[in-house]
A and B are shown apart, each in its own frame.
Chain A
Amino acid sequence: MSLRILVGCKRVIDYAVKVRVKPDKLGVVTDGVKHSMNPFDEIAMEEAMRMKEKKLASEVIAVSCGPQQSQETLRTALAMGADRAIHVKIEPKDYETLQPFHVSKILAKIVEEEKIDLVVLGKQAIDDDCNQTGQMTAGLLDWPQGTFVSNVEKVDGHLNVLREIDGGLETVKVSIPAVLTADLRLNEPRYATLPNIMKAKKKPMAVKSAADYGVDTSPRQEVLSVEDPPTREAGQKVESVEELVQKLKDGGFI
């Protein structure tokens, strides 16, 4: 069985950027800020490509739900090796309130339409930190889920999935079709080479809307405010281990 794989690619503020809260306290400043592909999605994309290289997958489709600029993220995915891309264009106003709830519904529809066998997503986006989309997509499809995955092996007609859990690792066997979400240690994503970036420009990208998939994007949650976290007061430097241990003794820790 050769799998058709769908990979979710979210455009987020680059992980190295220190975000700033907007003066209206309803979000963070995104204009003029460096964006890139969500790091966990790069790992998901890499895993899909490795499956294709092992001839386990026949086609890898990258999808992103978001504003016009999401197409840059999809071009990155295409340069990494995806065969084609689907941009589900969301107007900026609607994108502000778009949640995993909506994205998973869109993904579930694409799965049906494109006859997908395996959905590979990042375990969480580093902007909203939700960690929901993969699980919700699996729920909607009634497919098994392999979340926080650090290794995948295809054995006969199923997948052996190594999951990162709180006390260590666990192995779960999931049947195909399935949804997987990638943890950091699943793999090391490749860099797109210049020739591949050039080739990616010619690869097909379909532009769709949420309405095309019959998904209502009206918000289920309202963000009332976004604020800076409380700042810690500046501490002090101590000169020696003795002084430090004394401070800890005074604090009742030793």
Chain B
Amino acid sequence: MLSRCSTRSRFLYQANSIFQRNGSTLVIAEHDNEKLTPVTLNAITAAKKLGDVSCLVAGTQCAKVAEEISKVDGVQKVLLADNEAFKGFLPESLTPLLLATQKQFNFSHILAGATAFGKNLIPRVAAKLDVSPISDIIGIKSEDTFIRTIYAGNAVQTVKSNDTVKLVSVRGTAFEAAGTEGGSAATENAPTAEINNSISEFVGQELSKSDRPELTSAGIVISGGRGMKNGDNFKLLYDLADNMKAAVGASRAAVDAGFVPNDMQIGQTGKIVAPDLYIAVGISGAIQHLAGMKDSKVIVAINKDPDAPIFQVSDYGLVQDLFKAIPEMTEMTKK
């Protein structure tokens, strides 16, 4: 089975890059002022293929994050912009900083992870620089040619950018995470920009709390769909997930039915995951859901409908009632 996994490598598209690395790349770090968001490490790996890597850490009292990122393998320079104005990481405040930074350093590429943060910010900066951005890349062919998916992952597009600066968001699951040790980047202050944002204001946020691993970087993901019938039944999945050290996700059907909060949604319009093991429970396998998980290394489907499309992509399929199968699995995986 392991040999099958390697032949189906999701790193297929980025193999053998022999192009010259003569650019200088800026990675916009994503963080919460305390810790780096893991996707930044994947973006740094992508950036390393393009040239020297600098990282911009912008936030409020975020020196700790700058220190963390200065140790990341492959990062040459950290630019720190600590300012109350960056509260809530609003794109209206960050864009002037990015423009000032670009003006001073003239990067060939500006990258961020393709998360809610990166997707929100990159296109706005691109518009101000008058370039056409490239979203959610899964591979880099050369310094101007990138690979991305379209139509919910049902086609793979290779696109060449003719812009002088490339603004790119990076799909985290398509690139390995850079090592968090071994780097010794110098930290300097980012160029000062006049941040005078009177048009938007961060009010507050409500984050779902969980002790389980973060969905997009978890090694094992267990997801429930409409077949879970209600929100209470998700406890069955949480119990199994705890035994397997897994994160729990959901299909859009489960989210729309109100079983679980929508930040658990996996799919074209939710999160994209590619764990080592994905267990789909009571999920039929609509195109939009497959877009979010079909690059998982091993897929297991548990569904009582033998004709569910999910079985066409699963490595191991079990046709059984989930309400019988999941408690049994939980029992068997008990330590």
Contact, CB under 8 Å: B318 / A139: no
Contact, CB under 8 Å: A164 / B262: yes
Q: Knowing A129-B149, A224-B145 touch, does A232 contact B116 (C-beta < 8 A)?
A: no
Contact, CB under 8 Å: B162 / A172: no
Number of A residues with CB within 8 Å of any CB on chain B: 83
Task: Identify which of B88, B125, B128, B255 contacts A172 (C-beta below 8 A).
Answer: B88
For residue A148, which residues in chain B have a CB less than 8 angstroms away from its CB?
Answer: 116, 119-120
**CB-based nearest B residue for A176:** B199
Assembly CA distance A167 to B163 (angstroms): 33
Interface locus among A14-22, A68-76, A193-201, A202-210: A14-22
The interface bits of chain A over 120-150 (1 if a CB of B lies within 8 angstroms of the residue's CB, else 0) are 0001101111111111111110111101101
Residue A101 at the chain B interface, CB threshold 8 Å: yes
Contact, CB under 8 Å: A228 / B155: yes
From 204 to 251 in chain A, residues with beta carbon under 8 angstroms from any chain B beta carbon are 219-230, 232-238, 240-242, 244-245, 247-248, 250-251
Q: Knowing A129-B136, A222-B160, A241-B328 touch, does A173 contact B203 (C-beta < 8 A)?
A: yes
Assembly CA distance A230 to B10 (angstroms): 9
For residue B315, which residues in chain A have a CB less than 8 angstroms away from its CB?
Answer: 232, 235-236
Contact, CB under 8 Å: B116 / A104: no
Residue B106 at the chain A interface, CB threshold 8 Å: no
For residue A163, which residues in chain B have a CB less than 8 angstroms away from its CB?
Answer: 116
Residue B105 at the chain A interface, CB threshold 8 Å: no
Contact, CB under 8 Å: A235 / B317: yes
Contact, CB under 8 Å: B152 / A129: yes
Contact, CB under 8 Å: B244 / A254: yes
Task: Identify which of B134, B160, B202, B269 contacts A170 (C-beta below 8 A).
Answer: B202
Residue B2 at the chain A interface, CB threshold 8 Å: yes
Contact, CB under 8 Å: B268 / A173: no
For residue A144, which residues in chain B have a CB less than 8 angstroms away from its CB?
Answer: 92, 199-200
The interface bits of chain B over 200-217 (1 if a CB of A lies within 8 angstroms of the residue's CB, else 0) are 111111111000000010
Residue A36 at the chain B interface, CB threshold 8 Å: no
Residue A116 at the chain B interface, CB threshold 8 Å: no
- Interface range on chain B: under 10, 10 to 19, 20 to 34, or 35 or more? 35 or more
Residue A57 at the chain B interface, CB threshold 8 Å: no
Assembly CA distance A215 to B6 (angstroms): 47
**CB-based nearest A residue for B125:** A139
Q: Knowing A175-B198, A251-B1 touch, does A224 contact B159 (C-beta < 8 A)?
A: yes
For residue B314, which residues in chain A have a CB less than 8 angstroms away from its CB?
Answer: 235
Assembly CA distance A233 to B1 (angstroms): 12
Residue B126 at the chain A interface, CB threshold 8 Å: yes
Contact, CB under 8 Å: A99 / B156: no
**CB-based nearest A residue for B296:** A232
Residue A1 at the chain B interface, CB threshold 8 Å: no
Contact, CB under 8 Å: B150 / A145: no
Contact, CB under 8 Å: A184 / B269: yes
Contact, CB under 8 Å: A221 / B123: no
Contact, CB under 8 Å: B124 / A220: no
Assembly CA distance A191 to B256 (angstroms): 19
Contact, CB under 8 Å: A238 / B316: yes
Assembly CA distance A135 to B91 (angstroms): 9
Assembly CA distance A19 to B155 (angstroms): 8
Assembly CA distance A229 to B291 (angstroms): 11
Residue A113 at the chain B interface, CB threshold 8 Å: no
From 146 to 184 in chain B, residues with beta carbon under 8 angstroms from any chain A beta carbon are 148-163
Residue A58 at the chain B interface, CB threshold 8 Å: no
Contact, CB under 8 Å: B317 / A138: no
The interface bits of chain B over 295-335 (1 if a CB of A lies within 8 angstroms of the residue's CB, else 0) are 00011101000000001111111111000010011001100
For residue B195, which residues in chain A have a CB less than 8 angstroms away from its CB?
Answer: none
Residue B115 at the chain A interface, CB threshold 8 Å: yes
Assembly CA distance A248 to B245 (angstroms): 14
**CB-based nearest A residue for B128:** A139
Q: Which has the most chain A C-beta neighbours within 10 Å: B136, B198, B200, B204?
A: B200
11 further interface pairs, Cβ-Cβ under 8 Å (given A229-B149, A244-B329) = A28-B150, A135-B122, A166-B115, A166-B117, A171-B204, A172-B203, A230-B12, A237-B316, A237-B317, A241-B328, A253-B298
Q: A interface vs B, CB < 8 Å?
A: 13, 15-16, 18-19, 21, 28, 99-101, 104, 123-124, 126-140, 142-145, 147-148, 150, 160, 163-175, 178, 183-185, 219-230, 232-238, 240-242, 244-245, 247-248, 250-251, 253-254
| A–B Cβ pairs within 8 angstroms, 23 of them | A13-B151, A28-B155, A101-B127, A128-B150, A129-B148, A132-B123, A135-B120, A136-B124, A136-B133, A138-B127, A147-B120, A165-B116, A166-B271, A170-B205, A170-B206, A173-B202, A185-B255, A221-B159, A223-B160, A234-B312, A235-B315, A235-B316, A244-B302
